[in-house]
Amino acid sequence: MNSAVSGRGCKKVAVVIPCFRVRKHIQSVIDRIGPEVDRIYVVDDRCPEETGRFVKEHVDDPRVTVIFNEKNLGVGGATLAGMVRAASDAADVIVKIDGDGQMEPQLIPAFIDVILSAETDFAKGKRFFEPEGVMTMPRARLIGNAGLSFMAKFSTGYWNSFDRQTGFSPFMRVS
């Protein structure tokens, strides 16, 4: 069972990775996911690069299950497909990360601890914590994220939420 949460009731941890045009990054992302994760669900969202097929042929991690969407559902639909599968396989904590390598899988244990500490049922990562992360982000994406974050804050009133567009999100499954 997973070592990071063994002191917290041996909860089953799953990672969901929606995939669309991430073939060149996906193997590195999977390789960096630690032993605290029990299952990894790679969701090929009708990727033109056939990322799911690539994972089946080149990744030998026994924790990996590839899900193929019959049609492109977008990142939200692909994430939901992976979460539904993880929940049906009795995952207690589900962590969603992107397949493009922007998020550090090494941070997963910290997210698991936050979720299992009973402080919250949902958490959201923040890519702008360290200046180095901001400097490596393409300028168009940085401007787009800042604009979308401002609009989300303005429309919801949640001014303390900084990085609304990050895909690094763990959830606790509610039975």
What is the three-class DSSP state of 8?
helix
Rounded to whole angstroms, the Cα distance separating 38 from 14 reads 6
pLDDT category at 46 given cuts 50, 70, 90 is very high
**How far, in Å, are 8, 86, 109 from residue 48 at the CA level?**
41, 24, 32
pLDDT exceeds 80 at position 18: yes
Residues 6 or more apart from 139 whose CB is under 8 A from it? none
Rounded to whole angstroms, the Cα distance separating 72 from 83 reads 16
Give the count of beta carbons closer than 10 Å to the beta carbon of residue 95.
28
Residue of 71, 79, 77 whose CA lies nearest to 15:
79
Q: Which two tokens stand for residue 5?
A: 């949460």
pLDDT: which is higher, 129 or 57:
57
For the residues 1-16, what does the mean pLDDT come to? Answer: 65
Residue of 18, 57, 61, 64 whose CA lies nearest to 39:
64
For the residues 65-70, what does the mean pLDDT come to? Answer: 98
pLDDT category at 111 given cuts 50, 70, 90 is confident
The rounded percent of the chain whose pLDDT value lies above 90 is 46
Domain ranges of the chain: 6-126+166-172
Q: Per mean pLDDT, which range of 1-15, 29-43, 70-84 is the poorest?
A: 1-15
Range 6-126+166-172: architecture per CATH? Alpha-Beta Complex (3.90)
Read off the amino acid at residue 136.
T
pLDDT of 44: 98
pLDDT of 114: 77
pLDDT of 124: 56
Per residue in 116-151, pLDDT (tens digit) is: 776 655 565 555 555 565 566 667 766 776 776 666
Per residue in 82-106, pLDDT (tens digit) is: 999 999 999 998 888 989 887 789 9
pLDDT exceeds 90 at position 62: yes
